[in-house]
Chain A
Amino acid sequence: MARYVLARLTQAAFVLWAAYTVSFVVLFALPGDPVALMVGPDANVTEEQMAAIRSQYGLDRPLAVQYLAGLAEATRGDLGDSMQARQPVTTAIAESFGPTAKLAGAALVVGTAAGVLLALLAMLAPRPWQRTALLTLPPLGVAVPSFLLGLLLLHLLSFRWQLFPASGDDGWRSLVLPALTMAAPAAGVIAQVLAAGLRQAGREDYMVTARAKGNSRPRAYARHALRNAALPALTMTGLLVGGLLAGSVVVETVFARPGLGRLTTMAVSAQDLALVQGLVLVGAALFVLVNLAVDLLYPLLDPRVATAPRRRAGVRQITAL
């Protein structure tokens, strides 16, 4: 087990290095000079002034030096200074991390619960049309843009009935609407995958055995089919964390919450190189960590996985890509 974890950590380090390198290449291949961008076309700013700003942020060094120095500093946990936020990148990200973690965590819990519930209800629905009706909901959850859903919830539950505040990060009430908005697509994905898994499991022999032993249909599904159908859903949940981070850009903007999504919007629009790169790295690290956690959870759900973790993990990564 220790060796397995070590191998995965090495892999993670490689992923982070690749993320740093690719983002460096992409960012510096973008048109435009970040300093000229910061100044804008209308200010009467002299060339000397621009040069002073470039040297302040180390942008006057050759690209290779910027890359290697940046990489060395990054391994020591120093991601440079953000030009827009006017603070170290690590500080800016650390400050924004908490609010997003809270929001994404709540959305993941609500989304998972709703997704599992929906899939089970659909499987247990006694009439075909009921099942069909319920199974149209997950694609709807995935298809409706968060932006639209968010404004809809705001309009009704905040502006009209004033049940929840429209904006801010102040207590659980301010978390309800954004978490629901973010949970909808997550619930949709989980319900779709789980429903497919349950349908598959329902045809297995052990289900016939379970029913023959006197288990009711719901009980057979809950105790036997769910456990087997959960594996792909768990994989999806790992991938969803990435989706939630991406979703935070829209949801945090609509609900005016601080967090990584808002930070990303600012960093990208201002071409704040150090900050964008820091966010890419943090995103990659999170993704790697969550998927590692998912991999380590597999053996608990399905003891067969523990016997061949390496191969299983490899297969899963390919499907993830």
Chain B
Amino acid sequence: MSIRSRRFPRLLVAAAALTALVLAGCGDDASDDAGSEPADVASPRPGGTLTVALQTDPLSVDPRAYTFGAAVYVTRQVVDSLVAQDPADGSLVPWLAESWQVSPDATTFTFHLRDDVTFSDGTPLTAEVVKANFDDLTANQATVNPVIVSQLAGFEAATVTDEHTVEFTFTEHNAAFLQATSEPGLGILAPATLALPVQERTADVVGTGPFVLESYEKDAEVSLGRRDGYAWAPPFRENTGAAYLDQIVFTVVPESAVRSGSLESDQVLAIADVPAQDVAALRDGGYAIVDRPNPGVVYGLLPVSTPRQPLDDVDVRRALSHAIDGTLVRDTVLSPEFAPATGVLSTTTPGYVDLGDEIAFDPDTARELLDGAGWREGADGTRERDGQRLRLVAAFLDDFSANQPALELIAAQLADVGVELELAKQAPADLLAGLENVTTDLLWNSVTRAEGDILRSFSSAPPNYYHYDDPELDALLTEQRGIGDPGRRADLHAEIQRRIIDQALIVPVFEQTAVLATSASVHGLALGANSRLDQLGDVWLSE
């Protein structure tokens, strides 16, 4: 008994010591090694495996299944597209098609294919295969991602005119179709894949891309191998031949702190969706930050304007734009990679127009506009009109870590000019219900697409969740669909952006930005025109 009793405290001491150690460990961050030596810009070295930790599972390797970031990161590696979009200027350049013609009314698109392209199973790429891809899309409309189906609006037929020429005809104008063919969603799949029922394509896809799918294990990892003999990368890539990497392994790590920790402890070489609060520490630790503003509609508050007071008054909407300081939001809750919004669209969107002056931060103008609209300062600082307080409900999803802090800051800025903003974090179903039943005033949102056609999210065509009612704007949005000439179309897009800002159909705040981080040994990793991970043919690893 006596021996046992002496052993006992020792066990307790050990337990206490372990607890103390665990607690001490939380204090300081491990920012030890992670070599900060300058990247040697020597010649690329073939070989190696790039490991990338994603926030969400791609859910499918079929490019027609999903259009969200993680899905595109993966599918882009496996499939090529008819045309490519140059991230430098958003222009469309040859890829699987070496040239094309668009009819002036944007109803006929003719693509002339390269004659040297093969799928990874050896099948050659022909006009017949391209036609089969679009026939398959039409046949499986109900199971293909709705966004991709909507890009084919008015699609009539694909016709093979010779072995390497295919013509698409549409029953309605669809000028945005050309850019849509550059996205993985309309990428070209092998006949072997088309032969499978859609459900079986979730983990089995064959394309012409620089990487070949090896395996997909849901919620765990996607493994891709190099495609030998690849020789048809778009012209803007450094390396138009076979990829340098032997392998890419995408793992799925939902927790952002675990992703950052995995990078810092060399368990992965790259991570996606770096949270703003980790960016500075990673950069100081010698990691490279890869970032690019998402093309499309910037992050901002979308007023549900027409049927609901007080935002049915355009001056109240305009006042909100002047009351919010996007730069302060960026400096306070985001990282330097993010830019304050200067219009409806972000700077990386083709056809972007700088309307920064129209929405400049100017609280005095905001106050004047609100005074003019009859909203007078009340006893507690919040404005009132006919006994009604100027109180707005802003709904948002928990789909981006900075949403809540950004909106809290925005609420404080609006309070400065006498507007009370109530924040409502909602589940997607409640959010849609709130829009349909018009119980919310504002929705916090951004939309990604590298095409001016994204402005159609301001159209009053069904389902019209935001209850827009601007016939003049609708006419412009319809007109831009029918113009085949990119220059004339861009003029129209500029006019649309001015109209949207003039009517204050969005209160722009900052540009949504993709932020990735890589180990210093990773070279050539870049984001595409859609600000998703581009094909990784240029990527190589140094020792």
A residues at B contact (CB < 8 Å): 30-33, 36-47, 49-50, 52-53, 55-56, 81, 84-88, 92, 95-96, 99, 121, 124-127, 130, 133-134, 137, 151-152, 154-156, 158-160, 162, 165-169, 252-259, 262-263, 266, 269-271
Contacts and interface: CB of A to CB of B under 8 A. Distances in A.
A160 B30 contact: yes
A167 to B, nearest CB: 5
Contacts of A84: 59
A170 B62 CA distance: 25
Given A43-B150, A86-B202, A154-B258, A166 B253 contact: yes
A112 to B, nearest CB: 19
A40 B264 CA distance: 36
26 contacts: A32-B429, A32-B430, A33-B432, A36-B463, A37-B428, A39-B147, A40-B428, A49-B150, A56-B143, A81-B199, A86-B60, A130-B8, A151-B258, A152-B22, A152-B26, A155-B261, A159-B262, A159-B265, A160-B265, A166-B267, A168-B220, A254-B255, A256-B252, A259-B219, A270-B428, A271-B428
Contact of A42 (B4, B218, B253, B445): B445
A88 B197 CA distance: 13
Contacts of A50: 146, 463
B251 A168 contact: yes
B265 A166 contact: yes
B262 A167 contact: yes
Q: State which size class the interface on B falls in.
A: 35 or more
Specify which of A43, A252, A255, A266 lies most central, judged by the most chain B CB atoms within 10 Å of its CB.
A43
A255 B254 CA distance: 8
B142 interface: yes
Specify which of B62, B429, B462, B465 lies most central, judged by the most chain A CB atoms within 10 Å of its CB.
B429
A95 B432 CA distance: 32
Contact of B253 (A137, A159, A256): A256
Contacts of A156: 21-22, 25
Contact of A256 (B11, B21, B251, B432): B251
B39 interface: no
Contact of B219 (A31, A47, A162, A258): A258
A259 B254 CA distance: 13
B165 to A, nearest CB: 30
Contact of B264 (A44, A55, A159): A159
Contact of A32 (B255, B428, B465): B428
A43 B443 CA distance: 15
Nearest to A270: B428
Interface string B2-23: 0011001101100100000110
A155 to B, nearest CB: 6
Interface stretch (B110-118, B233-241, B453-461, B484-492): B453-461
A47 B462 CA distance: 7
A113 to B, nearest CB: 16
Specify which of B141, B265, B443, B459 lies most central, judged by the most chain A CB atoms within 10 Å of its CB.
B265
A45 B149 contact: yes
A166 B12 CA distance: 29
Contacts of A47: 462-463
A184 to B, nearest CB: 12
B257 interface: yes
A99 B219 CA distance: 11
Contact of A127 (B5, B147, B262): B5
A36 B252 CA distance: 27
A44 B430 CA distance: 20
A53 B146 contact: yes
Contacts, number: 173
Interface in B209-268: 217-221, 251-255, 257-258, 261-262, 264-265, 267
Q: Closest 8 interchain pairs by CB?
A: A32-B429, A258-B219, A56-B142, A159-B261, A256-B253, A52-B142, A41-B465, A258-B220
Given A53-B142, A85-B59, A253-B255, A168 B428 contact: no
B255 A133 contact: no
A46 B463 CA distance: 7
A299 to B, nearest CB: 35
Contacts of B25: 152, 155-156, 160
Interface string B260-286: 011011010000000000000000000
Contacts of A81: 199
A49 B145 CA distance: 10
Contacts of A95: 218
B433 interface: yes
Nearest to A140: B19
A253 B12 contact: no
Nearest to A262: B219
B314 interface: no
Nearest to B255: A254
Contacts of B466: 41
Contacts of A254: 255, 258
Interface string B415-441: 000000000000111111101000000
B41 interface: no
Contacts of B93: none
A143 B149 CA distance: 49
Nearest to B447: A42
Nearest to B462: A47
Contact of A45 (B146, B221, B253, B432): B146
Given A32-B428, A166-B267, 14 more contacts: A37-B432, A39-B146, A40-B428, A41-B466, A42-B445, A43-B147, A46-B150, A49-B149, A86-B62, A88-B199, A151-B258, A156-B22, A166-B253, A258-B219
B140 to A, nearest CB: 10
Contacts of A271: 428-429
B267 A31 contact: no
Contacts of B432: 32-33, 36-37, 41
Specify which of B254, B258, B443 lies most central, judged by the most chain A CB atoms within 10 Å of its CB.
B258
A43 B146 contact: yes
B1 interface: yes
Contacts of B456: 44
Specify which of B57, B142, B447 lies most central, judged by the most chain A CB atoms within 10 Å of its CB.
B142
Specify which of A37, A169, A256 lies most central, judged by the most chain B CB atoms within 10 Å of its CB.
A256
B176 to A, nearest CB: 10
A125 B8 contact: yes
B447 to A, nearest CB: 5
B257 to A, nearest CB: 6
Contacts of A86: 59-60, 62, 65, 143, 198-199, 202
Nearest to B430: A31
A231 B482 CA distance: 77
Contact of A166 (B143, B262, B433, B461): B262
